[in-house]
Structure 1
Amino acid sequence: MKIFIFLIFFCTSLFAQVEYPKDYFSSPLDIPMQLSGNFGELRPNHFHAGFDLKTLQKEGLKVYAVADGYISRIKISTFGNGKAIYITHPNGYTSVYGHLQIANGLIEEYIKKSHYALKSFEIELFPKSDELIVKKGQIIAFSGNTGGSEGPHLHFEIRDTKTEKIINPMFFGFDKMLKDTKKPTISGIYVYPLETKTSVNHSKRPLLLNLSLQKDGTYLSEKVIANGKIGFGINTFDYDDVSFNKNGVFKVQSFSNGKPTFGYQFDTYSFDEMRYVNALIDYSKYKKTQQRVQKLFMKNKYRLSIIQSDENNGAVTVTPNLSLVYRVEVSDFNGNKSTVSIPIQYDLLSTIIEKEPIVSNYFVKANKDSNFAKDNMSVFFPAGTFYEDFDMNFDVKKDTLFLHDDTVPAHTNFTISIEDNKYTEVQREKIFIGLIEGQKVTYNPTYKKENVFNTKVKTLGKYALIMDTIAPKIAIAKPIEGKWLSDQKTIQLTVNDSLSGIKSYNGYLNGNWILFEYDNKTKKIIHKFNDGIVAEGANDLKVVVIDNVGNSTIFETHFFRSQKK
């Protein structure tokens, strides 16, 4: 009776849904909906927060307000969502439109005035509720490829206005705009020995199981012969009928002899939970192979709200005289479902494949503060930095900190400190703590107190003090010195810094600050003459670029332009 009640409670709590309005929002585009990314999709260090809507592989498509409301936030960034507009609606939800090329009409005028008032390309604005009112179906912007976009598309989200939680747009009726009759694909099932003594099919390492397709369309795994505690992981993705690319799945649920053990459903979550994607996946395998295997167990419980698990956190204990069938069901939002069954049997098989050898000199406990130091370098891990305990390599050689490697994910910041006794005070102004990956050096914001440098990071790896005395580079494709530019619509320059990276750039036309838009992907800055700053006749242009340690470069030229037609 208790088991029956538990099953009802578990399944109800996992799949209970809020009633969302189905016909309130319209599509933000006037072309048939196709997804290049869906809600909850697994991305580097985060779950995807909405839909990525295809825009015919081009920019400039009209973007419409999906309902009445007012623009409550505008954020212009060189990374992330690039140019983004947020609309607050009277029904308690906010819609988000990202990677925009340009806003439309009065909205663009409002943004342009703010750029010039703040003298910055990167801005964040919070208009009042009566400043930028929009109507459903109004053109608010044009689609683009700004920010961290890897190709032209529209990023679209729906959030709860009060809590700012992001919600799967499918719940608002967008599923009707996207035909999907295809079942999710299960491309791999892995089994994990979770205790030192445990072996699975002669192995103490995770194993990929062979799957066979059954007549009823389900899959049957090869038998798992094990002893002790084990867990499972799944590699899965989904197709719909019109998008023709892999997307994430909506729901995963596992059962042991019919009892739910572990499940999650991508319905709604907060931005604070995004990084838990690194706990859900087999992070080490992802870093080594780029495969995202979703683990159906937790060694240590973590606070990802979409997960529901049993008292064993999804792990299965294989004991004598107990026969088990472990089942995994994977579903998309439309209810198309794929199932795999895994027979499990107890036996003490000899171990042929031992655990991977671990070379380490320290052990880190995830739930305790840890501090490690050698020579002039130290690292401090606050409790909760990591999801699980692990054996860690820590060493200092030739002025370089060897801090394990990026096969163990960190959830929160930890602090690296390096004391310097060889550089002058003047030289120290040009130094930062860099992450070294082969020939690549990544800048980290670094804070100096006397001769001690500190930085907060979330990535294990090699770190060292890096000196940057090289100024940024500014280049122009075709010289404009002394030329008439009456037929040009823009001025484009390339700005780049090969070490610490660009901190700021500013352009001046005849002594007045002008807006240059920066595209991080192409390293180009672009000024549009229709801003109205250019003078009739002679014009003097000055561009100042400063990197993150204060090196600067000035580019100056002059040109002529006629505004007369």
Structure 2
Amino acid sequence: MYICPTNYLSTYMKHTILSLILLAWGAQAYPQTTENVPSDATFTPPFDFPITFSGNFGEIRANHFHGGLDFKTGGTIGKPVHALAEGYISRIRVTHGSGYVLDVAYNNGYKTINRHLSAFVGDVARRVEDLQYEKESWEVEITPEPGEYPVKAGQVIALSGNTGYSFGPHLHLDMFEADTDDYIDPLPFFKKKVKDNTAPRAEGIMLFPQPGRGVVDGNQKHQAFPLTPKQPITAWGLVGSAIRAYDYMDGVSNRYGVHTVILEVDSVEVFRSVVDRFSEYENRMINSWTYGQYMKSFIEPGNTLRMLHAPNGNRGLVDINEERPYHFVYTLKDALGNTSKVRFTIHGKRAEIKPVEHREKYIFHWNKVNILQEPGLNLVIPRGMLYDDAYLNYAVRADSGDIAFTYQLNDTRIPLHGRCELTIGLRRRPLEDMTKYYVASVSNRGKKYSIGGKYEDGFMKTMIRELGTYTVAIDTVPPQITPLNPKQWGSAGRITFKAKDGETGISSYRGTIDGKYALFGKPNSISGNLVCELDPKHVKKGGRHVVEMTVTDGCGNQTTERFEFVW
């Protein structure tokens, strides 16, 4: 039997309860309303060629809304990116996530972030390169003074690219309202430059009978239906609806998020979503509003996302309490006003609704602090982290050779609004070096993914953002380094490596040429290749050279490889 260190647990709980009070207060203090004030600000487009998009504002992404517009660049990089108005460059970054990034603050009350650039220009480019060599790091950040880099409308400020987590050449443009720091949809400022007469189209609906309060076709689980069901849909009690739909634009094959969704039942509006703005705090609430690619037309009680509205006073849920047809009508609109409608009927049919039977210990309430203590496990979920009550399908698995038990908090992953502390006790310590241990998230197929963690007093402690399955694992295997096309390094003027790690991932890398720091970067994080563009300012041209690459994984395992090349 696992024995928990008593002193550690009591101290842990005292500190935890205090932090929970502060977190709960913060969640309640956040503003819950939005106001869309018309603006007379004007912007010129970022490009001097016709505008088309590969992505729009608010599209459904994993754990977040798409924060801006993705401008197409004709499948190429290096297109001049123009300032939208008069202002100044406020931040300059090179990151693995967004590549080359340029923030601009405009004098008209708005700010933008330009992501996935291929290069900066002028003094900014030189300053960034100098800092990269000074810090010996590809990732750098500069916050200039407001007057250092002024810009005017139409001025070239960067070149478009495909850097960071980017699946193809484009410009991602985020726009913010300076007074609130809200993400806002930039499209209204460019309406006159966009040709679009294509309305959104729906692909399916989903119905969510509420636990212990509703049934659909005699079942209390959520169910997907085609737009024209072959059999009549029956329901009884409280039911939530959802729709999968996409917007489209003239002349391109891309699909986009839907700006406005309105649900009416028997000609009365019960729900409306308007994807026009959100804050960073609200970003993860997309996990509450959506189920996969379905947009819910009801609001979970812990979801304060301001773009959702339920005028029926019942969070958008429909009470089917009469044996008659209920007529559902969806209205779908894009940001340019193109509109379509979807109609379907639910037939009220009296049916038994069984109450939810569940042990109270494994019910997490959305409006309370939730604490789960099991042998070898401590989990604290502060108030404000759950969007609805969670009925956990808790289970523990053990194997005689395991370092720790495998804890199934729930059989399907339940997203949390923020990071919550999880500690897992060790059953055995086959290695004395505790830096080699990590907390792993376990998939339904048994694959382990590192989420980090540190050892402390017999436990591995980490932060989690979803209720899933977790255990502890060990990583002692160093990363692999593979040179890509080494015979062409000299002729191409470019050195490229592929670095892989099968468990905890690549955490850092450092390259040298002839013993001196070489500026290797990860220009595109999808490929993950480490690339160094040879520069005669830093590498003497005309001879044989030695390049050395060291790669370190999340548990400190290192690999160093040396190669010769002629340039």
Which TM-score bucket, shorter chain as reference? 0.7 to 0.9
Secondary structure in 1 aligned to 2:316? coil
- Between the aligned partners of 1:205 and 1:245, the Cα distance in structure 2 is 33
- Which of 300, 317, 320 aligns to 1:318? It is 320
Name the amino acid aligned to 2:335. F
Aligned counterpart, 2:181: 164
- Between the aligned partners of 1:415 and 1:126, the Cα distance in structure 2 is 33
CA change 1:171–1:316 in 2 (3 A) is same
Name the amino acid aligned to 1:445. G
CA change 1:341–1:107 in 2 (3 A) is same
- Which of 496, 499, 504 aligns to 1:495? It is 499
Q: What aligned pairs does 1:126-525 form with structure 2 within 5 A after superposition?
A: 126-172=143-189, 174-194=190-210, 196-208=212-224, 211=227, 225-282=234-291, 286=292, 292-310=293-311, 311-320=313-322, 324-343=326-345, 346-349=348-351, 362-398=362-398, 399-423=405-429, 426-437=432-443, 438=445, 440-479=447-486, 487-518=491-522, 519-525=524-530
CA change 1:230–1:125 in 2 (3 A) is same
- Between the aligned partners of 1:233 and 1:63, the Cα distance in structure 2 is 39
Cα offsets for 1:211-260 (capped at 9, x unmatched): 46xxxxxxx99876543222211111111112222111111122344433
Aligned counterpart, 2:6: none
Cα offsets for 1:27-77 (capped at 9, x unmatched): 212332121110111111111111111222232222222223211112221
CA change 1:255–1:131 in 2 (3 A) is same
Q: Is the 8 A contact 2:486 2:495 kept in 1?
A: no
Q: Is the 8 A contact 1:34 1:242 kept in 2?
A: no
CA change 1:355–1:330 in 2 (3 A) is farther
- Between the aligned partners of 2:234 and 2:546, the Cα distance in structure 1 is 78
Q: What aligned pairs does 1:85-96 form with structure 2 within 5 A after superposition?
A: 85-96=102-113
Alpha-carbon offset, residue 202 of structure 1: 4.3
Report percent identity of matched pairs.
Answer: 28
Comparing 272-281 with 174-183, which one deviates more in the overlay?
A: 174-183
TM-score calculated relative to the size of structure 2? 0.84
- Between the aligned partners of 1:202 and 1:452, the Cα distance in structure 2 is 45
- Between the aligned partners of 1:526 and 1:121, the Cα distance in structure 2 is 10
CA change 1:531–1:143 in 2 (3 A) is farther
Name the amino acid aligned to 1:52. D
Cα offsets for 1:411-458 (capped at 9, x unmatched): 222222122252266332211111122364322131222332101011
CA change 1:488–1:338 in 2 (3 A) is closer
Name the amino acid aligned to 2:236. N
- Between the aligned partners of 2:37 and 2:325, the Cα distance in structure 1 is 38
CA change 1:479–1:180 in 2 (3 A) is closer
- Between the aligned partners of 1:255 and 1:30, the Cα distance in structure 2 is 42
Aligned counterpart, 1:4: none
Aligned counterpart, 1:74: 92
Alpha-carbon offset, residue 531 of structure 1: 6.6
Give the number of equivalent residue pairs: 526
Name the amino acid aligned to 2:453. T
Q: Is the 8 A contact 2:506 2:551 kept in 1?
A: yes
Cα offsets for 1:489-516 (capped at 9, x unmatched): 2222222222111111112234432211
Name the amino acid aligned to 1:159. F
Divergent runs of 4+, >6 A: 13-16, 220-223, 354-361
Secondary structure in 1 aligned to 2:555? coil
Secondary structure in 2 aligned to 1:495? strand
CA change 1:384–1:275 in 2 (3 A) is same
Name the amino acid aligned to 2:341. T
Secondary structure in 2 aligned to 1:117? helix
Q: Is the 8 A contact 1:362 1:391 kept in 2?
A: yes
CA change 1:530–1:234 in 2 (3 A) is same
CA RMSD in angstroms, aligned pairs only: 3.1
Q: Is the 8 A contact 1:15 1:265 kept in 2?
A: no
Cα offsets for 1:68-105 (capped at 9, x unmatched): 321111222112x2221111111111122111112223
- Between the aligned partners of 1:260 and 1:16, the Cα distance in structure 2 is 21
Matched, 1:533 2:538: yes
Aligned counterpart, 1:42: 60
Alpha-carbon offset, residue 315 of structure 1: 1.3
